[in-house]
Amino acid sequence: MAVESRFVVIRNGVEAKTFMDKKSADEYDKMLDMADNLSQMFAKSSVELSDSENEELSIFLAEHREEVLVALLAKKPSKAPAKKSTDKALDTSAAPIKKTKAKTTNTKLSEAS
């Protein structure tokens, strides 16, 4: 008999999602908490959003919180550029990369006697 641990995120009495590890479940729960907070903030604003638009926008912003923080200038962007799915290194039609050897020279200093 196998024993399997599962972590279930439950929101308002409803099972939201099941995870195999606690870290992923905690991250998802935190994202949902952020989305709830954003939804409440949008409800107080003068912008008219339907319930579904409010929920969709709140979840989108919570899922992309790092990018939102950068946009709000609350966080510096990471130095590594994001990889694009159309990376040229994966393109087989691209010209092959030529490898070159670097020449090294050893020089001796002559000692003055």
User: Mind listing the pLDDT tens digit for each residue in 44-96?
Assistant: 989 888 999 999 999 999 999 999 999 988 888 887 665 555 544 444 444 44
pLDDT at 74: 83
The pTM for the full model equals 0.61
Long-range contacts of 22-27 (CB under 8 A, 24+ apart): none
* CA gyration radius, the chain: 27
Pair 9, 16: CB distance under 8 Å: yes
Query: What confidence tier does 106 reach under pLDDT thresholds 50, 70, 90?
Result: very low
The better pLDDT of the pair 72, 98 is held by: 72
d(Cα 39, Cα 31) in Å, to the nearest integer? 12
Distances (CA, A) of 1 to 4, 18, 20, 90: 10, 21, 18, 44
For 1-113, where are the E strands, in sequence order? 7-11, 14-19
pLDDT score, position 2: 87
**Per-residue model confidence (pLDDT) at position 38:** 94
Q: At what angle do helices 51-63 and 22-44 cross, to 10 degrees?
A: 130
